[in-house]
Amino acid sequence: MTAAQSKAQSNGPRCCASSIDSIRRSGTDFDTLRFNPLQGTRDMPTFHIELFEGRTVEQKRQFVEAITKATCDSLNVEPGSVDIVLIDVKRENWATGGRLWSDPA
């Protein structure tokens, strides 16, 4: 087992996140697709977050509330413009250093 796997196992399910806020720079006018007149904003930070399966719905709820609050505070956007996609991944579908996380140590 690698040091990273050992650390992740001791800290619970591993998580990886990436912000897709820069998608507007790709040339597609997503502003017109995401504009919400009730919110009055064209900002659309979107987070795709992959984590090992096993979190409860309540844990996910608390997590997305915290991510939304931090995003609103740091980017000065409204909560309605923050999208979060949680992706549960089985350990057999995730590898680090050439080893599946489902493999025994």
Q: What is the pLDDT of residues 20-66, one digit of tens each?
A: 443 333 343 444 445 454 555 556 899 999 999 999 999 999 999 99
pLDDT in tens, 74-100: 999 999 999 999 999 999 999 999 999
Strand order in the sheet with 15-19: 15-19, 46-52, 83-89
Contact 47, 23 (CB under 8 A): no
Least Cα distance to 74 among 45, 32, 35 occurs for: 45
Which residue among 13, 37, 45, 79 is the active-site one?
45
Evaluate whether residue 90 is within a structural domain: yes
In a domain, 3, yes or no: no
Q: Is residue 4 part of a domain?
A: no
Per the structure, the count of domains in the chain is 1
Q: Is pLDDT of 10 > 70?
A: no
In a domain, 9, yes or no: no
* Residue 37 appears among annotated catalytic residues: no
CATH number at residue 63: 3.30.429.10
Of residues 37 and 72, more confidence is placed in: 72
In a domain? residue 12: no
Asked if residue 91 is part of any domain, the answer here is yes
Structure tokens at 13: 């399910």
63 within domain boundaries: yes
**Confidence band (pLDDT; 50, 70, 90) for 14?**
low
State the residue range of the domain holding 26.
17-100
Distance CA 55, CA 12 (A): 10
Q: Does the residue 61 lie in any domain?
A: yes
